[in-house]
Structure 1
Amino acid sequence: MLPLVFTVLVLYSCFLTSGSCDLYDELKELKTEFDINLYQRLAQPENRTNLIVAPASVSISLGLLQFGAQGNTFMQLENALGYNIQDPKVQDFLHTGYEEVTNSSQGPVVQLACALFVQAGVHLSPDFIEHTALWANSSLQKINFSEPNSTAAQINEWVTGNTEGGEADCIHLDTVGSPLTQMAVVSTMYFKSMWQKKFSFTDTQSLPFTTAEGVTLKVPTMYHTAEINYGQFHTASLERFGVAELPYLGETVSMFVVLPSDRRTSLSQIESHLSAKIITVWANSLKRMKMDIFLPRFRIQSHFDLKMVLPALGITEMFDPTEADFKGISGKIIPYIRNDHSVYRFIVDVYMIFV
């Protein structure tokens, strides 16, 4: 569902405002382009299916791996993300964003975290350990992958601790059960906030909602009247749509709701129109107006395999045991996975709670 996606994209970029204007604007655009590219790759096979994704959670993990990557593996990560994580200016930009997002004293609660779970006994480079300690609330955790029950429990405990007691048992035994697994990257993003103007529970009622298949259903629908930022736009093919900005408490973070003007226009037609520049145009072009707002109540969970998506972004070597070069992590090549299995058991779990 497109409205949820834009909450994630705007959530990450709206705080990144300090520093050299030209450089930071360029990095913000590169960061947003990665977010959009990732979403579009995920959305293609999930057409007509509700979807929620937090690109910041994925980019944190890829950034951490970039510290340990070398050669062409490093180049693939750099090209996909759009930046070189070794550049001090890039690190300053990203650290500023992470700190401002997670240290907000009022308004939304945002927590980003990343952990590299490493097989006990594997030697790690001192430089990589130092980078990990300074990187976006990341940590190194020793673990024994030959014991899948305790491994899953330890990872789930970490997830719960970084999502304010969020859903546990998210890592299943079939995910970590291979005794050949040597490392696992796990990242989380937790978001919780109240609306700037709350929807009243007493105003929630059952109203018609038309699905992508044209079926009309009765669903619980929230309602209120408020002054919001709103604009109308069209794609290059002239499909018209409206964009409404619904701010959360403190008005530093907003949900952008996108709705086609014609019921015959699918969201996929609008999604193909997306770019960092387009989203900037939306944010700068909305006008204040009083509107009646109807929004279905929803709860969404999404599961997807990044190993099927990242190669479409040009990241292929990290999954190839004959090509992957992560000598920067251990100082030597480690036979993480043999045969035709991925060199990394790459796991990214995303938790987002909307209130």
Structure 2
Amino acid sequence: MIPSLASSRRWGLALLLASYVAVWSCTASSDLLQLLSRAHFDFTLNMYGTLANVTDDRQQNLLISPYSVFSLLSMLFLGAGSESLSSAQLRAVLRFHNISYASVQRAFKEVTQVLDNPYYYRHFQEDADLLLTNGVTPADVYARALDEFYRRSVNYLNLGAPSAQEDLATWLMSAAGSGSGSDSGSGPDSPVGSGVRQLPDLEAALADNPVLLLVSRAHFHGSWMHPFDPARTFSKGLFFSKPSQRLTMIPSLASSRRWGLALLLASYVAVWSCTASSDLLQLLSRAHFDFTLNMYGTLANVTDDRQQNLLISPYSVFSLLSMLFLGAGSESLSSAQLRAVLRFHNISYASVQRAFKEVTQVLDNPYYYRHFQEDADLLLTNGVTPADVYARALDEFYRRSVNYLNLGAPSAQEDLATWLMSAAGSGSGSDSGSGPDSPVGSGVRQLPDLEAALADNPVLLLVSRAHFHGSWMHPFDPARTFSKGLFFSKPSQRMEVPMMTSRMLVPLGYNSDMEARVLELPLSTRRISVFLLLPDDMEHGLARLEANLTMDNLRTLLATLKEVIVNVKLPRFRMEGSGDLRRVLRTQGLTDVFDPVSSDLTGIDPQGRVHPGPLLYAASLVLDETGDSGDTSGSQQMAPSEDTRISDKYFEVDHPFLFLVWDYHSAMVLLMGRVVHPEPLF
């Protein structure tokens, strides 16, 4: 009976890049949080004003948790009949004028995730409870939704028990539940209400044997950023309740720091809208995309054979280098060069780490593990262990840990090969630990030169591994795949490859200056999309496209995307890429980090024994009809009709092309490459 949370909102990368890849700034979830924040603050002022007006004694204290009450009523809104007067009145009181039912719940889920941090439990403990009585149990779908969006559960109170009033009093004074900042379950032993001594009239509350009680409890005891000095507290300060009535013996806290609410209110308390973390993600996304194009361009230029395939995970390499940046000496040349290569021009050291923590949280979703498995590893050798503070920071911001490789073992090279081909680690979308039994590299068979990589007995190995096998939003029909399609690596060189065909409604664009077309093929739920960049010229178009692949040119090309009916022909293939990126990174100016003498990674090892050796990468990609599953029931292929056939567009991938795999939610390029010789999947 809970309406399905479906949205018709559709995303396009052109709009994203038009704002310089500022995905999280004022879009996606931050929009929902902004709308919920506005509604909440409007509700707060109205509720407080009404409470102040209906209170008989204007001289009494008032204290309430607007967030807790707002949560309670929103939980009622979750369970209200969609067209009922109850739902309409709750919407009006909660100020949900411009936010849909589904968006309310999704925004609350994000609020709950934010507040589910031990920080809040140290300062603010809160719980909002629905207490059912008389043996009534909630519908299972409501209980699941309550847990999904609010991390709450319905609790029970036995009104028939002689101790019912006492039980409720205990609940109010001491129970915690599963509210913000607490990992503990509901019960009288948890500390939420530890500061509560004043209770409402419980006898009156239970007089009518209510079926459902709504209970809000909160306690605040903060720890100041700038603590007051107890030695400066004056034990006999004065506080005037009225001009003629003063209370003595109220300790007065002295401090030179003063805070104002004016600035907060000037932005309508839209704290999450376009500030705080969304700004950080915007800055990180810009840096990442700039880094991606520069790294790919350099990789393409230093590759001896322009006719070979290229495949790499920019996100994974970006993560690895950012982990080095985390451990670089703050004023060192190593840190400065890492900042330049990573394009961290306008983002502070601390902001980089906080932004990466949010990216990691986004990618730590089972959705990604079904489509894209990735790991970025720091492998220490020769018995060196990282500083404890670095290990903790690595776990906090990247959800990674330092791993170890015994170079003295006869199987060292074999162990590294196994690691590259099959280990998963704690990367995006995976809850499993690092090790050769986990599936990240399951598609990797092509390895870099491991003998050369280990020749100099490196103290630190950087290892990037990624595998992509997506499930299309509009799957291709295997029955329509032509087994003997043609792909021209050169005008005079052709190969047979299975050619998938479909007719679908997808974004298509073209730019005459770049002489290239672009097609977006979204994966299921459209969190990830594959963008295919196909040059007009079969022989020289790919080299020209790579040479002109700048941020501005790509933004111009993607800005032409429009949703039309397209007849798509795409090879069914797999590809791999691997190598050592040191040459690429040195070409970009990252020289000091790889110098055993001058490298400064004293944040990792204060004794200065750590410097990176090779940065090894291995990536694989599979594009087939459906991706992970064989189900094509979700296909939206359309049979041509006489009315539409003339206006159909065509996108036939029969010669070399570029592609990138983009994640909308993290604003990261998961994979990027060029396809010159697709390996057929027969």
TM-score tier by shorter-chain length is 0.7 to 0.9
Match of 1:43 in 2: 300
Q: 1:227 aligns with which of 499, 505, 522?
A: 505
- State the TM-score, normalizing by the size of structure 1: 0.82
CA 1:330/1:211 → structure 2, altered by over 3 Å: closer, same or farther? same
Amino acid at match of 1:126: D
Q: Distance in 2 between matches of 1:48 and 1:293?
A: 24
Gapped runs of 5+ residues in structure 2?
Answer: 1-12, 31-273, 425-438, 628-682
Larger of the two Rg values belongs to structure: 2
Q: Distance in 2 between matches of 1:263 and 1:185?
A: 37
Q: State whether structure 2 residue 353 is matched by structure 1 residue 91.
A: yes
Q: 1:69 aligns with which of 307, 328, 342?
A: 328
Q: Give the CA deviation at 1:221.
A: 0.9
CA 1:115/1:145 → structure 2, altered by over 3 Å: closer, same or farther? same
CA 1:69/1:247 → structure 2, altered by over 3 Å: closer, same or farther? same
Contact 2:354 2:397 in 1 (8 A): no
SS at match of 1:195: coil
CA 1:158/1:50 → structure 2, altered by over 3 Å: closer, same or farther? closer
Q: Distance in 2 between matches of 1:95 and 1:312?
A: 29
CA 1:86/1:116 → structure 2, altered by over 3 Å: closer, same or farther? farther
Q: Taking CA–CA contacts closer than 8 Å with sequence separation of 6 or more, which of the two structures ends up with the larger relative contact order? A: 1
Match of 1:305 in 2: 580
Match of 2:643 in 1: none
Amino acid at match of 1:187: S
Q: State whether structure 2 residue 514 is matched by structure 1 residue 252.
A: no
Q: 2:593 aligns with which of 305, 318, 328?
A: 318
Amino acid at match of 1:348: Y
**More displaced 10-residue stretch of structure 1: 175-184 or 306-315:** 175-184
Q: 2:442 aligns with which of 166, 169, 177?
A: 166
Match of 1:242 in 2: 517
Contact 2:326 2:353 in 1 (8 A): no
**CA deviation string 1:195-239 (max 9, x = no partner):** 1111122211122322235423333211011111011113xxx34
Q: Give the CA deviation at 1:295.
A: 0.7
CA 1:289/1:179 → structure 2, altered by over 3 Å: closer, same or farther? closer
Match of 1:215 in 2: 493
Contact 2:444 2:576 in 1 (8 A): no
CA 1:98/1:190 → structure 2, altered by over 3 Å: closer, same or farther? farther
Match of 2:380 in 1: 118
Contact 2:497 2:571 in 1 (8 A): yes
Amino acid at match of 2:561: L
Amino acid at match of 2:616: I
Q: Distance in 2 between matches of 1:24 and 1:176?
A: 34
**CA deviation string 1:147-191 (max 9, x = no partner):** 140464267248624134615785775156447332212232333
Q: State whether structure 2 residue 308 is matched by structure 1 residue 29.
A: no
Count of residue pairs brought into register by the alignment: 336
CA 1:14/1:194 → structure 2, altered by over 3 Å: closer, same or farther? farther
Q: 2:315 aligns with which of 45, 48, 56?
A: 56
Q: Distance in 2 between matches of 1:302 and 1:157?
A: 16
Q: 1:270 aligns with which of 521, 531, 545?
A: 545
Match of 1:3 in 2: none
Contact 2:593 2:600 in 1 (8 A): yes
Q: Distance in 2 between matches of 1:30 and 1:193?
A: 26
SS at match of 1:271: helix
SS at match of 1:319: coil
Q: Distance in 2 between matches of 1:263 and 1:183?
A: 43
**CA deviation string 1:280-305 (max 9, x = no partner):** 44444311111110111222122232
Q: 2:401 aligns with which of 116, 139, 144?
A: 139
Match of 2:342 in 1: 81
Q: Give the CA deviation at 1:273.
A: 1.9
SS at match of 2:307: coil
Q: Distance in 2 between matches of 1:86 and 1:22?
A: 12
Let me know the Cα RMSD of the aligned residues: 3.1
SS at match of 1:36: helix
**CA deviation string 1:214-269 (max 9, x = no partner):** 423333211011111011113xxx34221111111111211111112343542121
**CA deviation string 1:115-134 (max 9, x = no partner):** 22222532422221122222
Q: Distance in 1 between matches of 2:309 and 2:461?
A: 27
CA 1:311/1:244 → structure 2, altered by over 3 Å: closer, same or farther? same
Q: Give the CA deviation at 1:14.
A: 9.2
Q: Distance in 1 between matches of 2:450 and 2:548?
A: 40
Q: 1:347 aligns with which of 616, 635, 645?
A: 616
CA 1:222/1:96 → structure 2, altered by over 3 Å: closer, same or farther? same
Contact 1:107 1:193 in 2 (8 A): no
CA 1:177/1:26 → structure 2, altered by over 3 Å: closer, same or farther? closer
Amino acid at match of 1:57: S
SS at match of 1:302: strand
Q: Give the CA deviation at 1:345.
A: 3.5
Contact 2:376 2:463 in 1 (8 A): yes
Q: Distance in 2 between matches of 1:231 and 1:168?
A: 32
> Percent of aligned positions with the same letter in both sequences?
23
Q: Distance in 2 between matches of 1:179 and 1:244?
A: 45
**More displaced 10-residue stretch of structure 1: 65-74 or 214-223:** 214-223
Q: Give the CA deviation at 1:107.
A: 9.4
SS at match of 1:311: helix
- State the TM-score, normalizing by the size of structure 2: 0.45
